[in-house]
Structure 1
Amino acid sequence: MLIFPKTLIDKLSVVNESYEEMDYVELDICEPMEVIDNDSFDMIIDKATLDAVLCNQKPQERVLQMMENIYRILAPGGIYISISNGIPETREQIFKMKEWSIERGEIPSESAHEGDNMHHIYVMTK
């Protein structure tokens, strides 16, 4: 199962209709997600989703629900990768809400914030 925004889901459903084993689901990662079983994913990749959630109203509540959901649906030994513009001092506080190992890396980015020309990659293992 893959989770994408609705517009991408519509396009991918047509392009990949011959792949019967692929399901696409539209969900809000910051809302309770009872439709997905615990320990369902071996890997979750977040490209700036956390950054966007932090820009919303009531970011603390939404980030907490997001981390709860990710941790719950990630299988033991599963990996959550977050690619973010957020610096380690701010993002690692969020990731430390859950008991997983945290590794960090950086890749150059022309679009990153002024003064920080890197995308930060956080890899959490459950």
Structure 2
Amino acid sequence: MDTDQNPKAKEKKTVGPSSTSAYRDPHYWDERFSSEEHYEWLKDYSHFRHLIQAHVKPGSSVLELGCGNSRLSEELYKDGITEITCTDLSAVAVEKMRENFSYKGYKEIKVLEADMLDLPFSSECFDVVIEKGTMDVLFVDSGDPWNPRPETVTKVMAMLEGVHRVLKPDGIFISISFGQPHFRRPFFNAPKFTWSFEWITFGDGFHYFFYISRKGRRSLNCEESCEKHEQPSSINLLHEELESEDYIFRMNIDM
């Protein structure tokens, strides 16, 4: 039962796996979601709501990748964005999310079990695709961040190709991540993509990145487009800011 339904219910403290490789294991997520009611990666909606509202309008068809037990889609729905499809690789997460939305009367939101590397949707069918911390899973154990392992590159490109395909000609891809722009740029700016590449930061102490890619808007001067928003000169990993983000501490991040 969702804690919003029962105020007295206590959510169990999230405990990360013994190794980062578990984040790529569907069984880990099934087990975790079976007992965990809610967890937000990379801050909750209130921290970037102003950015969402600037780019996503009511009436937009939205696809959320890797919904897990996040309340992102629920918050979008409350803001009038009701044409939402959520996907997750975990059957447990999907079933619990369906039960939650049904209980709360959010009948318009669809929840499907799907792999983000092989999206089961027709081409050009969504106005917006959003992922929050989901793509970061693909970078677990990726090796040198300047030169990721070939298997990492293959998976990230498969995800981005799928997102690009399902977006409408003028669609927007929003990626919320702690991955820095100089590590993400080579993927987003692959020649096969027609989208632009911009970012905005949010958060206190530790800066998270809100990437915005507009399909069909790629600049002829890519470097100028990529640097539209100023990158922080430094990023401080504050323990008090990140102590609940066990995922981040278990990632191999080269600062």
Considering the TM-score relative to the shorter chain, is it more than 0.5? yes
Which residue matches 1:99?
Answer: 194
1:23 aligns with 2:107: no
TM-score by length of 2: 0.43
- Equivalent-residue separation in structure 1 for 2:152 and 2:179 (angstroms): 14
Which residue matches 1:54?
Answer: 139
Secondary structure at 2:197's aligned position in 1? strand
Identity, % of aligned pairs? 27
User: By how many angstroms is 1:83 displaced?
Assistant: 0.9
Which residue matches 1:42?
Answer: 127
Which residue matches 1:78?
Answer: 171
- Equivalent-residue separation in structure 2 for 1:56 and 1:65 (angstroms): 18
User: By how many angstroms is 1:75 displaced?
Assistant: 1.1
- Equivalent-residue separation in structure 2 for 1:48 and 1:2 (angstroms): 14
User: By how many angstroms is 1:19 displaced?
Assistant: 4.3
Q: Which has the higher strand share?
A: 1
Which residue matches 2:160?
Answer: 67
Secondary structure at 1:65's aligned position in 2? helix
- Equivalent-residue separation in structure 2 for 1:36 and 1:49 (angstroms): 18
Of stretches 90-99 and 48-57 in structure 1, the one that deviates more from structure 2 is 48-57
Which residue matches 2:207?
Answer: 118
Which residue matches 2:86?
Answer: 2
Bigger Rg, structure 1 or 2: 2
Cα deviation, 1:44-101, whole Å, max 9, x if unaligned, reads 1111112111226711110110011000011111111111111111111111121101
- Equivalent-residue separation in structure 1 for 2:175 and 2:155 (angstroms): 16
Q: How many residues align?
A: 118
1:12 aligns with 2:107: no
- Equivalent-residue separation in structure 1 for 2:159 and 2:123 (angstroms): 14
User: Greater relative contact order: 1 or 2 (C-alpha under 8 angstroms, separation 6 or more)?
Assistant: 1
- Equivalent-residue separation in structure 2 for 1:19 and 1:46 (angstroms): 20
Which residue matches 1:113?
Answer: none
TM-score by length of 1: 0.82
Whichever residue aligns with residue 101 of structure 2, its letter is: N
User: By how many angstroms is 1:20 displaced?
Assistant: 4.2
**Cα RMSD for the two superposed structures:** 1.9
Which runs of 5 or more residues in structure 2 are unaligned?
1-84, 143-150, 216-255
- Equivalent-residue separation in structure 1 for 2:116 and 2:141 (angstroms): 13
Of stretches 12-21 and 57-66 in structure 1, the one that deviates more from structure 2 is 12-21
1:54/1:109 Cα in 2 relative to 1: closer, same or farther (>3 Å)? Answer: farther
